[in-house]
């Protein structure tokens, strides 16, 4: 890893550059199929490629998007004009990345908890992805809340896997996005979420230290501290920001260059407002940015709906969401920005 340290640090800093964020376009085939079918589009290799190409070929996308997380299928595909996706991304100033986990599976010996798989053969897969042009990677751990969850057992096995993945990524000269997601499904309060998120982050950074991860050469992708989506007492953006940043200050080392928050099940507007409030907190020790999937692609997917004639309008919808989140990245998002896109 030593020979890759400078490369890792430079890439990680570029991923969390000011005014930009990361597009998560790494949905599995199953997840992407559900999203396409929801807007009346048959899911096949071509429709999935067309939609993802629509996003990344949006004019000036590289101004607001620093990197794109690709799925195994997409990183091996070519755009309509015959260019491999990673090559096309680099030409427009976007860093290509790759999702490498193979999904969350039931955790043996635990009730309704999960562990993410995909470590077998990962060293060889990293060699292939590096050759294809990937400069960073992503692995997501799923942590459930409720009825005694998360258990220390679930936190430990997921943290251990995240750190093993991160070590293999850095060995290959690829920046690891470390994603421990504490799920926000349910009616739990923000206090419960804060406690579970804190325990999870402590477990993750304990494992990262044990496995000698070079912290300046990674990016953290966590959940924000939110109340469960069914909780009647929903916090303001200011409370989310205060709770999240205060918790992270005590756990996340300052050597980590940036924290790219996931959007989870938040609405487009909530994800932008919460991110903006965090960027208005004073004396942040890390870059605070976004790595959104649904909060960036939901509206353009609906606008497109599989129709070639809708591609330009879908790109305008994507550009709008990227603009809103880039503004939030600077602490400058407001609800008035949502009025700027004329349907």
pTM of the model: 0.96
Cα 223-226-229 angle, rounded to 5 deg: 105
Identify the pLDDT of residue 271.
96
Instruction: Give the list of residues 6+ apart from residue 121 with CB closer than 8 angstroms, or none.
Output: none
Give the CA distances from residue 159 to residues 52, 129, 179, in Å, rounded to whole numbers and listed in that order. Answer: 31, 23, 10
In our burial notation (b when 16+ CB lie closer than 10 A, e otherwise), range 207-217 reads bbeebebbbbb
Each domain of the chain, given as residue ranges in start order, spans 2-339
pLDDT, tens digit, for every residue of 131-165?
999 999 999 999 999 889 999 999 999 999 999 99
- State percent of the chain over pLDDT 90: 93
Supply the mean pLDDT for the chain. Answer: 95
pLDDT, tens digit, for every residue of 157-195?
999 999 999 999 999 999 999 999 999 999 999 999 999
Confidence grade of residue 341 (pLDDT, cut at 50, 70, 90): low
CA neighbor of 291 nearest in space, from 116, 137, 105, 100: 137
Give the CA distances from residue 218 to residues 98, 215, 226, in Å, rounded to whole numbers and listed in that order. Answer: 14, 6, 24
- Choosing from 114, 149, 221, 323, the catalytic residue is 221
Q: What one-character DSSP code corresponds to residue 84?
A: B
- The neighbour count for residue 46, using CB atoms within 10 Å, is 10
The verdict on whether 179 is a catalytic residue reads yes
Task: Assess if CATH 1.10.443.10 describes domain 2-339.
Answer: no
296: part of which helix (H) or strand (E)?
A: helix 294-304
- Choosing from 179, 181, 194, 207, the catalytic residue is 179
Identify the pLDDT of residue 265.
86
Mean pLDDT in residue range 88-105: 96
Confidence grade of residue 1 (pLDDT, cut at 50, 70, 90): low
Mean pLDDT in residue range 19-33: 94
């Amino acid at each position: 890893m030593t020979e890759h340290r400078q490369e890792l640090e430079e890439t990680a800093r570029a991923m969390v550059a000011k005014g930009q964020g990361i597009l998560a376009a790494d949905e599995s085939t199953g997840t992407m199929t559900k999203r396409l079918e929801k807007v009346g589009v048959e899911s096949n290799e071509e429709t999935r490629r067309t939609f993802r190409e629509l996003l990344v070929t949006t004019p000036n996308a590289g101004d607001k998007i620093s990197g794109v997380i690709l799925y195994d299928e997409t990183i091996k595909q070519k755009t309509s004009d015959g260019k491999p996706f990673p090559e096309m991304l680099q030409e427009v100033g976007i860093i290509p990345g790759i999702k490498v986990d193979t999904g969350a599976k039931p955790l043996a010996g635990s009730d309704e908890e999960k562990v993410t798989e995909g470590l077998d053969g990962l060293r060889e897969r990293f060699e292939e992805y590096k050759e294809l042009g990937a400069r960073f990677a992503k692995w997501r751990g799923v942590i459930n809340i409720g009825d005694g969850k998360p258990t220390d057992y679930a936190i430990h096995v997921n943290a251990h896997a995240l750190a093993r993945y991160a070590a293999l990524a850095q060995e290959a000269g690829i920046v690891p996005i470390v994603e421990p997601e504490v799920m926000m499904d349910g009616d739990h309060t923000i206090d419960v979420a804060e406690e579970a998120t804190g325990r999870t982050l402590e477990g993750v950074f304990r494992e990262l230290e044990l496995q000698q991860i070079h912290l300046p050469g990674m990016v953290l992708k966590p959940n924000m501290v939110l109340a469960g989506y069914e909780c009647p007492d929903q916090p303001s953006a200011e409370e989310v920001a205060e709770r999240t940043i205060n918790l992270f200050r005590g756990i996340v080392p300052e050597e980590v260059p940036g924290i790219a928050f996931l959007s989870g099940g938040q609405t487009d507007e909530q994800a932008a407002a919460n991110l903006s409030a965090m960027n208005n907190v004073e004396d942040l020790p890390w870059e605070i940015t976004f790595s959104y999937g649904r909060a960036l692609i939901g509206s353009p997917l609906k606008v497109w709906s599989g129709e070639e004639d809708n591609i330009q309008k879908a790109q305008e919808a994507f550009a709008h969401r990227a603009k809103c989140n880039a503004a939030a990245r600077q602490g400058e998002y407001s609800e008035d920005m949502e009025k700027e896109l004329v349907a």
